[in-house]
Amino acid sequence: MNGEFLVLLEQGFALMGIGMGFVFSFLVVLVFTMGGMSKTVQFLNKLFPEEVKVVEKPGKRANVSEDEAIAVAIAVAKAQG
Amino acid sequence: MNGEFLVLLEQGFALMGIGMGFVFSFLVVLVFTMGGMSKTVQFLNKLFPEEVKVVEKPGKRANVSEDEAIAVAIAVAKAQG
Amino acid sequence: MNGEFLVLLEQGFALMGIGMGFVFSFLVVLVFTMGGMSKTVQFLNKLFPEEVKVVEKPGKRANVSEDEAIAVAIAVAKAQG
Amino acid sequence: MNIADSLYKLWQSTGIANFVQPVDPSITSGFEQFLHQFGSPIMIVICLILLWLGIKKQFEPLLLVPIAFGGLLSNIPVADIAGPNGFLGIIYEAGIHKGLFPLIIFMGVGAMTDFGPLIANPKTALLGGAAQFGIFGALLLALCCFGFTLPQAGAIGIIGGADGPTSIYVTTKLAPELLGAIAVAAYSYMALVPVIQPPIMKLLTTKEERQIQMTQLREVTKREKIVFPLVVLGLCIILLPDACPLVGALTFGNLCKECGVVDRLSDTMQNALINIVTIFLGLSVGSKLSSDQFLTTQTLFILVLGIVAFSLATAGGVIFAKIMNLFSKEKINPLIGSAGVSAVPMAARVSNKVGLEANPQNYLLMHAMGPNVAGVIGSAVAAGILLALCN
Amino acid sequence: MNIADSLYKLWQSTGIANFVQPVDPSITSGFEQFLHQFGSPIMIVICLILLWLGIKKQFEPLLLVPIAFGGLLSNIPVADIAGPNGFLGIIYEAGIHKGLFPLIIFMGVGAMTDFGPLIANPKTALLGGAAQFGIFGALLLALCCFGFTLPQAGAIGIIGGADGPTSIYVTTKLAPELLGAIAVAAYSYMALVPVIQPPIMKLLTTKEERQIQMTQLREVTKREKIVFPLVVLGLCIILLPDACPLVGALTFGNLCKECGVVDRLSDTMQNALINIVTIFLGLSVGSKLSSDQFLTTQTLFILVLGIVAFSLATAGGVIFAKIMNLFSKEKINPLIGSAGVSAVPMAARVSNKVGLEANPQNYLLMHAMGPNVAGVIGSAVAAGILLALCN
Amino acid sequence: MNIADSLYKLWQSTGIANFVQPVDPSITSGFEQFLHQFGSPIMIVICLILLWLGIKKQFEPLLLVPIAFGGLLSNIPVADIAGPNGFLGIIYEAGIHKGLFPLIIFMGVGAMTDFGPLIANPKTALLGGAAQFGIFGALLLALCCFGFTLPQAGAIGIIGGADGPTSIYVTTKLAPELLGAIAVAAYSYMALVPVIQPPIMKLLTTKEERQIQMTQLREVTKREKIVFPLVVLGLCIILLPDACPLVGALTFGNLCKECGVVDRLSDTMQNALINIVTIFLGLSVGSKLSSDQFLTTQTLFILVLGIVAFSLATAGGVIFAKIMNLFSKEKINPLIGSAGVSAVPMAARVSNKVGLEANPQNYLLMHAMGPNVAGVIGSAVAAGILLALCN
Ligand code: NA
Ligand code: NA
Ligand code: NA
């Protein structure tokens, strides 16, 4: 076990400590921010309740794309005809 | 109001005059060309009437793409089954 | 008919001979390899018969893409509703 | 490298350590010093506001969301995403710098546009010309009163064309340093067309004029629709080759749509291709939202000039429609004049809506589509003139 | 800049002022002078004719429409759309110059091709080889009788391969100056296959031969279809690496189609990707339709040699089928030999149609698909030989 | 050129003549000499094995099939398809070298990911952090015990992130010479997650722990889902700008998905765009499977370190879940810890499956999706740290 190996070992453990520490710090901050975010949003949702639905509906409608709508229309027409 | 401003003013009005004049000239020519085009095409349509429909139909059929056709086929099959 | 023309003619015929020869050789080898391939595969298919179907089915299912599935679902729902 | 070194290196690369730049003693102006220090965080807040406008207020979201997100990414310290080796910088260089992306989008616009209403009533094309008054009016103001250079004034004027790809194409060629501000102004005001136009339209028309009913449009044959893009391109070739990249892309898309034999290509231009290019165009236009180029008085001026351009364009279209009525037996409803500003199909819908307010039986939509699509051609022609004369 | 200056600058940039180039005293040849002066307008007329062929006559419209439109755009004076900073020039440089676009299209072709009929009846592969006689016959003529250089003759010969992407790939490598003419010839004659082939087929066969019925093809298992592209690529690696970019792209697409586990990718290759690339390939090939390269006697020669190549290829396939019948008990209908020229699936349909004329119960389509897809491989191999020997 | 010359030239260009390279006297090492001579055929066999794994064993076929085929093509002698003028070389240079393709794929991943389960149960994010232990554990081993340099060790560690685009992005920046081996290892082990993880999970948990039931997740509102990507990006900007290209691409895709006003763009990112880029990313990553870079002991080490990384990551997640249970009243099932390695959604399915074995009524899938998507963020953050500290 020579000196060079020890240097590498120190470097490796330093990176591991810093890396895992940083990743955890990031995620801990994220956990708390998410909590704050959810509370803020739920508070806002109470203040402006309808708006949310207005935003949601066009989104969902848009999911059924034009192509599908055409396909459906034809299908229904043929199934009924 | 110094001389430089007057130069800019002349330049600006020159551009405006030329620009609007050119845009209008272009569109006036376009209006007349469109008129001529429509008359020519209508004349040609009288000379070769069926050809037009032949051109149109494959286009419209092609609009119903294969994907949709498959979707419709499955839908009809399921709706009947 | 000068010498240069003869040189070109030789070159052209050489290319033709080599080219057609090579293309044919390639395809003759391909014909025999295809024969061998088919026999090997049919032998393997006898050894491991079910596996083939397992490979085939997910492929065919995947062909009915999500979009189509949605379209079909809506179509069926509407046709029945 | 030991722990202390690594920690220091990591700290050096955090955003906290780099968010606020240190005072640069070589900068003497107080405002510039402020921008140097706090420019990026301010731009990030502005981009968040743009995102909010796009998502919540649905201001042309297909472009404003990617533009705002691109702005967000390019103002991140250290990462240099908009730099020459950052991914937005690379996309900008490949797609915007030489004008590729706006032209591809214009192909898709062509493939989605139906010129039928214009062919059915050709003289409405003139309304699409009159609305270009916004371009040259704003150019004049920018040049004479706001101290912009001629190329900059041309790029600012084109906001009045109310046509996104045209604005981006012209700005990239004439004044790339203004691209961020002009793109944001152009798309924001296009989204605000239903707010900007109605008061001007009502101010310039009487109730009787707004009630004018127009005769139904004749049917347009397939062959006319096929020949039309070639006619437009032909005129453009003869009169103004500088507009041909734009007009060529537009008419190519339209020809592919109308000819009926290349539906595969036309469908792709209208969907996969235009969507892919929109994503990258938006992100890389956003990469020009840097604080030193956006947080200037010029940007304020551009925002002011942009709304002036839209207003002048609207007024130009409406007034010219009234002038046309002076000389024509068959009266046109002057409300369709405002549709000449392009902003397809929003401006035509505004004409229809204001018309319905005056007369609930009077549907102007199809009549307004004529000047509306003519406005696209008019703006492209005006763009060609600016490219020819402003540099 | 005052009004007069601006007007003059604008006039200078119109098409009218630049359509007809002034006499260039440094050009001594009268014809070249004529081309220098009137080349662009003539090319525009030619491109309109090509557009008409594509749209009205449906000559391979997916490629001829973009090619013709690209030619139109690149012959616009002043705009220089095909130049190094024009958008078609940029696309050409990025996608065609190094062979990217034809290879991507070949991937899509692979993903759309079913090699099942060939695997079911392997010996029909030889018909796809015999039809390559068109390539080498045209090469010989081009080299010896029309004064083309060896690389040019190779590029002209490849027209006889009746395969668009292969022709473009080879021409780009061997003789890019002929790209416009060769692409136009290749796609036009592919569209004319139903006109060119039947007389030759009838001339070379007796009515009895045309009535030969063939036994139904056996079913081909999934595993054979998966292994087949790897076998083809393997042979190509061993025998002719120069053909591997083409054959590799083709077999990659086919493997993705057949393996059944990457349907997302295979669908994309067959749709969005091939469509996008077709648009840009067509436009940028069209950008090589410049008057100085197209309005030459060489183009005339290429058109002549192209039809010779198609005819020789057709004859080669049919005659070889008759030769095979001399040595084989199980007779094949010589009409399927002409399908070996590729032009997938047009040539196979022609075989079927001519066969039905002789015997209304005799459906040859599936039998003709064997030589038809073999012809694609054969042309790619021939392309590899040309790339190896002609430069 | 006469017949003999042509034949010789053709022979010189065959694969047979070039498959086995002649002995190079300048190479003294016997093994290197062997590789120099027989490297390409060996690599072709390896690529065929990878193809078989992709097609038959369905190992991440969407990437392994293109990677293996790219490797096949780039090991063809003479053709030099992976060289600077070969088509795979060109695609590599344009798309991978500067990190474009992995980022575009990450956009698509963002547009396909639902962060709802994570928002509903935020603390499971920590499990996605603990699983990054695999990255740093493998890095330590690679650096200290296997003789890799620091950048190489960082690139090898990232295999433990179990995230394809992140691995490719980091490797391209830190150690491009290892790209082939690392990509193959990353995707192969991601496919092997159902084999690698269960024994480790069972070893580290008691039957009682595996039976823990978790309370149903609350519903997440649209607004939370819209704000979430901005929160993640915001943290990333403040804490680690080096991770912002990756996290920015991911959150852009996710914002487009959730905001509901740009569905056109979100659909395109999830389909046409990601498919197109996957094809080219796979092929060009495969082009780095050259014998001199792949047939080394380093590759063996990478394969060993890769499985170590996956195992450590799995163990890290499970053990940390048990630690969390020590300090929390509401117990979590430690099986969902292993989902923190990413490999979306495979690892979450494994958690569910192992949970069902212990308790057939206990569906853990939605609970495991929280750590699963948190693992993607965690890996991107870890990637940012490696990019900041390892070069
Ligand atoms: Na306009
Ligand atoms: Na062929
Ligand atoms: Na991970």
Q: What is the mean pLDDT of residues C16-26?
A: 93
Query: Is D60's pLDDT higher than 50?
Result: yes
- The pLDDT, as a whole number, for residue E248 is 96
D100-112 and D274-286 helices, crossing angle to 10°: 140
Provide the chain A residues 22-51 that lie in CB contact (below 8 A) with chain C: none
- The pLDDT, as a whole number, for residue F37 is 81
| Residue B77 sits at the chain A interface (C-beta within 8 Å) | no
Q: What is the mean pLDDT of residues F43-61?
A: 93
Query: Is A62's pLDDT higher than 70?
Result: no
Q: Which residue has the higher pLDDT, F221 or A54?
A: F221
Side-chain-side CA neighbours of A49 within 13 Å: the count stands at 1
- The pLDDT, as a whole number, for residue D2 is 67
- The pLDDT, as a whole number, for residue E2 is 67
- The pLDDT, as a whole number, for residue C58 is 38
- Count of Cβ atoms closer than 10 Å to residue F30 Cβ: 8
Structure tokens given for F254: 């996710």
Structure tokens given for F50: 């990878």
The DSSP 8-state label assigned to residue E92 in this structure reads I
Q: Does chain B touch chain E (at least 3 C-beta pairs within 8 Å)? A: yes
SS3 F78: coil
CB contact under 8 A, F3 and C55: no
| Residue A71 sits at the chain F interface (C-beta within 8 Å) | no
What confidence tens digit (pLDDT) does each residue in E313-366 have? 999 999 999 999 999 888 999 999 999 998 889 999 999 999 999 999 889 999
Band of residue D1 on the pLDDT scale cut at 50, 70, 90 = low
Least distant ligand from the CA of F383: 3
Q: What is the mean pLDDT of residues B63-77?
A: 43
Q: What is the mean pLDDT of residues E69-90?
A: 92
Q: Which residue has the higher pLDDT, D323 or C3?
A: D323
* CA–CA dist F180, F299 (Å, integer): 9
Please list, residue by residue across F135-160, b when 16 or more beta carbons sit within 10 angstroms of its beta carbon and e when fewer do: bbbbbbbbbbebebebbbbbbbbbbb
For the ranges A69-78, E38-47, F24-33, F145-154, the lowest mean pLDDT is seen at A69-78
Query: Is C24's pLDDT higher than 60?
Result: yes
Sign of CA dihedral F72, F73, F77, F82: negative
Determine the residue among A27, A43, A51, A52 to mutate to test chain F binding: the one whose Cβ has the most chain F Cβ atoms within 10 Å. Answer: A27
- Whether residue F205 contacts residue F350, with contact meaning beta carbons closer than 8 Å, is answered with no
Nearest alpha-carbon partner for D121 in D199, D228, D258, D218: D218
- The pLDDT, as a whole number, for residue D16 is 77
Q: What is the mean pLDDT of residues E80-91?
A: 92
R_g (Cα) of chain F, nearest Å = 23
Chain D residue with CA closest to A65: the answer is: D271
Q: What is the pLDDT of chain E when averaged over all its residues? A: 92
Q: F308 alpha carbon to ligand 3 midpoint, in Å? A: 14
What confidence tens digit (pLDDT) does each residue in F328-357 have? 888 999 999 999 998 888 999 999 999 999
CB contact under 8 A, D56 and A55: yes
Q: What is the pLDDT of chain D when averaged over all its residues? A: 92
* CA–CA dist D59, D65 (Å, integer): 9
- Whether residue C46 contacts residue E170, with contact meaning beta carbons closer than 8 Å, is answered with no
The answer to whether the bond into D345 is cis (omega within 30° of 0) is: yes
Band of residue A47 on the pLDDT scale cut at 50, 70, 90 = confident
Q: Which amino acid is at E245?
A: P
Nearest alpha-carbon partner for B19 in D134, A24, E259: D134
Q: E344 alpha carbon to ligand 2 midpoint, in Å? A: 9
Chain B hits for D381, Cβ within 8 Å: 22-23, 26-27
Q: E150 alpha carbon to ligand 2 midpoint, in Å? A: 21
CB contact under 8 A, F125 and A52: no
Query: Is A80's pLDDT higher than 70?
Result: no
Q: What is the distance in angstroms between the Cα of E10 and the nearest Cα belonging to chain B?
A: 9
* CA–CA dist D69, F252 (Å, integer): 7
- Whether residue D109 contacts residue D253, with contact meaning beta carbons closer than 8 Å, is answered with yes
Q: What is the distance in angstroms between the Cα of A11 and the nearest Cα belonging to chain D?
A: 6
- The pLDDT, as a whole number, for residue A1 is 54
* CA–CA dist F384, F380 (Å, integer): 6
CA D126 to chain centre: 21
Chains near A (3 or more Cβ pairs under 8 Å): B, C, D, F
CB contact under 8 A, E54 and D261: yes
Q: What is the mean pLDDT of residues A3-29?
A: 91
Burial of F297 (0-12, 13-18, 19+ CB in 10 A): exposed
pLDDT > 90: percent of chain E: 79
Burial of C62 (0-12, 13-18, 19+ CB in 10 A): middle
CB contact under 8 A, D263 and B62: yes
Query: Is D95's pLDDT higher than 80?
Result: yes
CB pairs under 8 A between B and D: 123
Q: What is the distance in angstroms between the Cα of B72 and the nearest Cα belonging to chain C?
A: 7
Band of residue B79 on the pLDDT scale cut at 50, 70, 90 = very low
Q: Which amino acid is at F34?
A: F
| Residue C77 sits at the chain A interface (C-beta within 8 Å) | no
* CA–CA dist D263, D277 (Å, integer): 20
The pTM is what? 0.91
Structure tokens given for E111: 């993903």
Q: What is the distance in angstroms between the Cα of A55 and the nearest Cα belonging to chain B?
A: 29
Chain E residue with CA closest to C63: the answer is: E263
What confidence tens digit (pLDDT) does each residue in F2-11 have? 678 778 877 8
- The pLDDT, as a whole number, for residue D27 is 80
* ipTM given for this complex: 0.89
What confidence tens digit (pLDDT) does each residue in F190-202 have? 999 999 999 999 9
Q: What is the distance in angstroms between the Cα of F120 and the nearest Cα belonging to chain D?
A: 23
Q: What is the distance in angstroms between the Cα of B65 and the nearest Cα belonging to chain E?
A: 11
- The pLDDT, as a whole number, for residue E162 is 92
Q: What is the pLDDT of chain B when averaged over all its residues? A: 70
Q: What is the pLDDT of chain F when averaged over all its residues? A: 92
DSSP secondary structure letters along C16-32: HHHHHHHHHHHHHHHHH
Q: What is the mean pLDDT of residues D93-115?
A: 94
Nearest alpha-carbon partner for E257 in E225, E220, E235: E225
Chain A residue with CA closest to D14: the answer is: A22
Q: C38 alpha carbon to ligand 2 midpoint, in Å? A: 24
Q: What is the distance in angstroms between the Cα of F385 and the nearest Cα belonging to chain A?
A: 7
CB contact under 8 A, F3 and C18: yes
CB contact under 8 A, E61 and D103: no
| Residue A64 sits at the chain B interface (C-beta within 8 Å) | no
Q: What's the Cα-to-Cα distance from F5 to each of C11, D36, E243, F8, F11, rounded to whole Å? A: 10, 70, 20, 5, 10
Q: What is the mean pLDDT of residues D328-354?
A: 92
Q: Residue D1: which of A11, A17, A22 has the nearest Cβ?
A: A11
For the ranges B1-15, D364-378, E185-199, the lowest mean pLDDT is seen at B1-15
- The pLDDT, as a whole number, for residue C73 is 40
CB contact under 8 A, A17 and D2: no
Chain B residue with CA closest to A66: the answer is: B68
Q: What is the mean pLDDT of residues D250-276?
A: 96
CB contact under 8 A, B67 and A70: no
* CA–CA dist F387, F383 (Å, integer): 6
Band of residue E195 on the pLDDT scale cut at 50, 70, 90 = very high
What residues flank ion ligand 2 with Cβ within 5 A? Answer: E 161-162, 342, 375, 379
Query: Is C75's pLDDT higher than 50?
Result: no
Q: F280 alpha carbon to ligand 2 midpoint, in Å? A: 27
- The pLDDT, as a whole number, for residue C59 is 36
CB contact under 8 A, A8 and F143: yes
Side-chain-side CA neighbours of D210 within 13 Å: the count stands at 22
pLDDT > 70: percent of chain C: 58
Query: Is C1's pLDDT higher than 90?
Result: no
Q: Residue D2: which of A14, A22, A55 has the nearest Cβ?
A: A14
What confidence tens digit (pLDDT) does each residue in E259-306 have? 999 999 999 999 999 999 999 999 999 999 988 889 989 999 999 999
Query: Is D367's pLDDT higher than 60?
Result: yes
DSSP secondary structure letters along E256-298: HHHHSS-HHHHHHIIIIIHHHHHHHHHHHHHTT--HHHHSSHH
- The pLDDT, as a whole number, for residue B1 is 54
- Count of Cβ atoms closer than 10 Å to residue F286 Cβ: 30
Band of residue F1 on the pLDDT scale cut at 50, 70, 90 = low
CB contact under 8 A, A14 and D3: yes
Query: Is A72's pLDDT higher than 70?
Result: no
- Whether residue D239 contacts residue B26, with contact meaning beta carbons closer than 8 Å, is answered with yes
Q: D150 alpha carbon to ligand 1 midpoint, in Å? A: 21
Q: What is the mean pLDDT of residues F243-263?
A: 96
- The pLDDT, as a whole number, for residue F146 is 93
Query: Is D195's pLDDT higher than 60?
Result: yes
| Residue A74 sits at the chain B interface (C-beta within 8 Å) | yes
Structure tokens given for F182: 């690392």
- Whether residue F116 contacts residue F284, with contact meaning beta carbons closer than 8 Å, is answered with no
Q: What is the distance in angstroms between the Cα of E362 and the nearest Cα belonging to chain C?
A: 26
- The pLDDT, as a whole number, for residue B62 is 37
- The pLDDT, as a whole number, for residue B42 is 85
